[in-house]
DNA sequence: CTGAAAGCGCTTACAG
DNA sequence: CTGAAAGCGCTTACAG
């Protein structure tokens, strides 16, 4: 029932080789025969089997994408960037998650060994860098999308400007006349946390630092703690938008006005950032563009272009709204 | 360099058939030889090529997932549900988006024709139902995840209880003593909008209905309009959480207290719902469970179990927080 | 410009 | 219980 290249060849009165040629190179084939073959192909609605082509060619025209979780707020943006780029190249995208822990790692590792895809894009799940390095060692082309600001010179990486982002937050607070910022960070062992803090400090050093998680709760706790401790601050730099949302909430609960009493700058520019009260000033992370760039890099590599040695950097952008 | 079944066969001193047998059925093979073959497999780190197995077996052990967009707020939940289920079954998941319009449709259609996957899960993009039906007609098993509440008896579908969800919102408002609700809907041609309204009306009929989009802006506009028109209402049923977020914001701006002056119930239970001020009471849509259920259905079908005729329904759940 | 043949790496009747 | 052979649906040297 499913129609194959042999059916087309027979119907067109040529060999499979010829059909294959008009399908692929197009070269070396008589214009008239080519036209006839194309007609038959259209008439029969023939499409070459993905799997068969892959086996014969030794490549699958599919890339893998491996991420820690699909429910993180900015993950959809990254995926969409990758999906669009990959689709434009006629490739497919196999999606894997590490949410199942060791079972998930075993799954993706097996798929790598089985050559289910030609190359792999990865947002490195915690503690799985070694496994990723192994995959590369087994000949799988890998490009990293770096959300942590780690320095991984061994692998091609697309990153963003965490340091400059931090500096731009400080610059904004300075221009609005603030001099006594409170900085609320994510987990201090994250490279991006260190860079955001360092960048911020270059323009606006402060001793008021609260280390927490990347959560709304951390934002609330930090403000409650700062207020209870009578810390003196006229502004807040939150290391991400969730923290900033918690900050806004706690500030409102405490009767502080934003930005008059306290100015607030976040990081990420999640969709929710425009819906907080007041709308959030924040440092935009270009997640979609990072996805696109990483996919382009990997696709180029599969096409024969060697991967660049240095990491690619897509810049952050300060989005000014009402909170600072 | 890459090791094949022939390498294993040679090293173990058996035929490819035997290796294949211990790899698959496991049956009909001497325990001792099987053990020896397994040893060699482990020693060599052999993993069968995905593509080759697929071609020989006539199936790819991959399912496709086709969605309108990856950046919708609840999409990550659906995808995670699908990804987990599919992974547990040892399958891969090819992800496609319709964000590129006709180009995207051509892409997915080609992949269906090329049998890039064994079955397809789809959240139907607008105006593409015909294309989906065509795919099924071409022999591709399809399961729909219904976010619109449309009635599509022709295709196996996983849906949720929009009507009961609307009713549960009304019930909540009734128990908190409200009698004059304002209903703010999404696009009225959506089945889910009609069902949510109808369900709500069974318990708490009202003449105050504002039809809009599923956006925060609609929520704000609706409240501004209602206030300006001096509509009398003591509560709001918003057809989704984005609308509800806009409602909360506009209400606050107008000096109304929630829930004392006006109670508010949303729909979806996005992560943001617990971070609004006040935290939102809302009807939870079980997006992850819907993804899991749909994937299980499709996997079962691929395993030989016929698809059920009626649609599967995963119920909504009222989440009571502070806004109502 | 075109075809016959070998090969991609597996699985699966078919014999034995 | 095991192997030789055919076949899955393509591509690609190799001849001509």
pLDDT averaged over 10-residue windows placed end to end, chain B, 324 residues: 88 91 80 89 92 92 97 95 96 96 94 95 91 91 86 82 97 97 95 95 95 95 97 97 95 94 97 88 97 96 82 95 96
The pLDDT of A193-199, averaged and rounded, is 96
Model pLDDT, residue A242: 94
- Cα Rg of chain B, angstroms: 26
Alpha-carbon distances of A142 from A131, A295, A301, A305, B96, rounded to whole Å: 12, 10, 9, 14, 21
Q: Residue A218: which pLDDT band, with cuts at 50, 70 and 90?
A: very high
CB spacing of B104 vs A90 below 8 angstroms: no
Which of B42, B66, B83 should one mutate to test binding to chain A, selecting the residue with the greatest count of A CBs within 10 A?
B83
Whether B181 and B201 have beta carbons less than 8 Å apart is answered as: no
Among left, alpha and beta (phi > 0; psi -120 to 50; other), residue A177 is left
Using the CA of B27, give the nucleotide whose C1' is nearest: D1
Q: Which of A71, A88, A114 sits opposite B49 (nearest CB)?
A: A114
Model pLDDT, residue A29: 79
Q: Which of B69, B116, B271 sits opposite A92 (nearest CB)?
A: B116
Model pLDDT, residue A147: 79
Model pLDDT, residue A182: 98
Q: Which residue has the higher pLDDT, A64 or B309?
A: A64
CB spacing of A275 vs B249 below 8 angstroms: yes
pLDDT per residue as tens digits for the range B219-237:
999 999 999 999 999 999 9
Which of A65, A90, A105, A116 should one mutate to test binding to chain B, selecting the residue with the greatest count of B CBs within 10 A?
A116
Q: Which of B50, B80, B104 sits opposite A114 (nearest CB)?
A: B50
CB spacing of A216 vs B54 below 8 angstroms: no
Is the C-beta of residue B55 closer than 7 Å to nucleic acid chain D? Answer: yes
Quick one: fold of A162-284? Rossmann fold (3.40.50)
pLDDT per residue as tens digits for the range A70-117:
999 999 999 999 999 999 999 999 999 999 999 999 999 999 999 999
> What are residue A283's phi and psi, to 5 degrees?
-95, 115
Beta strands in chain A, from DSSP E residues, in sequence order: 62-67, 92-97, 119-122, 142-145, 157-160, 181-185, 209-211, 235-238, 263-268, 281-284, 312-314, 317-319
Nearest residue (CA) to C1' of C6: A56
Task: Indicate the length of chain A as a whole number.
Answer: 324
Residue A180 has pLDDT above 80, yes or no: yes
Model pLDDT, residue A311: 85
CATH 3.10.20.340 for domain A5-48, yes or no, is: no
Domain-wise residue ranges, chain A: 5-48, 60-160+287-315, 162-284
pTM above 0.75, yes or no: yes
Q: Which of A50, A73, A87 sits opposite B104 (nearest CB)?
A: A87
Is the C-beta of residue A129 closer than 7 Å to nucleic acid chain D? Answer: no
CB spacing of B84 vs A71 below 8 angstroms: no
Model pLDDT, residue A151: 62
Whether A242 and A216 have beta carbons less than 8 Å apart is answered as: yes
Pairing of strands A263-268, A281-284: parallel
Nearest residue (CA) to C1' of D1: B29
Q: What residues of chain B lie within 8 A of the CB of A87, using their CB?
A: 96-97, 100, 103-104, 107
Model pLDDT, residue B152: 65
Is the C-beta of residue B33 closer than 7 Å to nucleic acid chain D? Answer: yes
Model pLDDT, residue B307: 78
Whether B283 and B268 have beta carbons less than 8 Å apart is answered as: yes
* Number of neighbouring beta carbons within 10 Å of residue A24: 11
Class of domain A60-160+287-315: alpha beta
Cα–Cα dist A205/A197, whole Å = 9
Is the C-beta of residue A2 closer than 7 Å to nucleic acid chain D? Answer: yes
Model pLDDT, residue B102: 94
Q: What residues of chain A lie within 8 A of the CB of B109, using their CB?
A: none
Model pLDDT, residue B94: 97
Model pLDDT, residue A23: 87
Q: What residues of chain B lie within 8 A of the CB of A50, using their CB?
A: 60, 111, 114-116
Alpha-carbon distances of B250 from A251, A278, B219, rounded to whole Å: 19, 12, 8
**Whose CA is closest to B275, among A74, A247, A53?**
A247
The domains spanning B5-48 and B60-160+287-314 adopt the same CATH topology = no
Nearest residue (CA) to C1' of C8: A56
Report the footprint of strand C: residues with C-beta closer than 7 angstroms.
A 13-18, 21, 27-30, 33-34, 55-56, 58; B 2, 4-6, 16-17, 19-21, 23-25, 46, 48-49, 52-53, 55-57
Nearest residue (CA) to C1' of D2: B18
Element (H, E) at B171: helix B162-175
3-state secondary structure of A38: helix
Model pLDDT, residue B32: 85
Q: Which of A69, A84, A115 sits opposite B50 (nearest CB)?
A: A115
Instruction: Determine the distance in angstroms separating the CA of B151 from the nearest CA of chain A, rounded to an integer.
Output: 28
Instruction: Determine the distance in angstroms separating the CA of A143 from the nearest CA of chain B, rounded to an integer.
Output: 19
Q: Give me the architecture of the B60-160+287-314 domain, per CATH.
A: 3-Layer(aba) Sandwich (3.40)
Q: What residues of chain A lie within 8 A of the CB of B1, using their CB?
A: 139
Q: Which residue has the higher pLDDT, A196 or A150?
A: A196
pLDDT per residue as tens digits for the range A290-320:
999 999 999 999 988 887 777 899 999 999 9
Rounded CA–C1' distance between A42 and D12, in angstroms? 24
CB spacing of A93 vs B90 below 8 angstroms: no
Using the CA of A24, give the nucleotide whose C1' is nearest: D11
Model pLDDT, residue B259: 95
Residue A256 has pLDDT above 90, yes or no: yes
pLDDT per residue as tens digits for the range A266-289:
999 998 898 888 999 999 999 999
């Amino acid at each position: 029932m499913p129609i194959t290249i042999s059916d087309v060849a027979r119907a067109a009165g040529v060999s499979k080789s010829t059909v294959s040629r008009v399908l692929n190179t197009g070269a070396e084939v008589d214009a008239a025969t080519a036209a006839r073959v194309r007609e038959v192909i259209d008439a029969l609605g023939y499409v070459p089997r993905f799997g068969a082509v892959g086996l014969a060619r030794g490549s699958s025209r599919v890339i893998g994408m491996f991420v820690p979780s699909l429910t993180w707020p900015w993950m959809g943006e990254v995926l969409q960037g990758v999906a669009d780029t990959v689709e434009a190249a006629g490739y497919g995208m196999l999606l894997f998650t590490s949410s199942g822990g060791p079972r998930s790692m075993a799954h993706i590792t097996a798929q790598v060994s089985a050559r289910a895809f030609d190359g792999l894009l990865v947002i490195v799940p915690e503690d799985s860098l070694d496994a990723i390095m192994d995959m590369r060692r087994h000949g799988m082309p890998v490009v990293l999308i770096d959300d942590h600001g780690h320095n991984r010179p061994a692998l091609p990486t697309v990153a963003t400007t965490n340091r400059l982002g931090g500096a731009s937050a400080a610059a904004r607070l300075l221009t609005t006349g603030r001099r006594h910022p409170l900085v609320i960070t994510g987990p201090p062992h994250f490279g991006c946390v260190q860079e955001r803090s360092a960048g911020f400090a270059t323009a606006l050093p402060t001793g008021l630092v609260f280390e927490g998680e990347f959560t709304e709760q951390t934002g609330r706790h930090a403000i409650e703690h700062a207020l209870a401790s009578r810390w003196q601050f006229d502004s807040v730099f939150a290391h991400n938008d969730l923290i900033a949302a918690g900050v806004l909430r706690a500030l409102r609960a405490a009767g502080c006005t934003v930005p008059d009493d306290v100015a607030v700058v976040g990081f990420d520019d999640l969709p929710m950032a425009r819906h907080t009260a007041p709308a959030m000033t924040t440092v935009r992370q270009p997640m979609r563009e990072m996805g696109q760039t990483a996919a382009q890099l990997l696709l180029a590599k599969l096409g024969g272009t060697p991967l660049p040695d240095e990491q690619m950097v897509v810049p952050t952008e300060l989005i000014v709204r009402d909170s600072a």
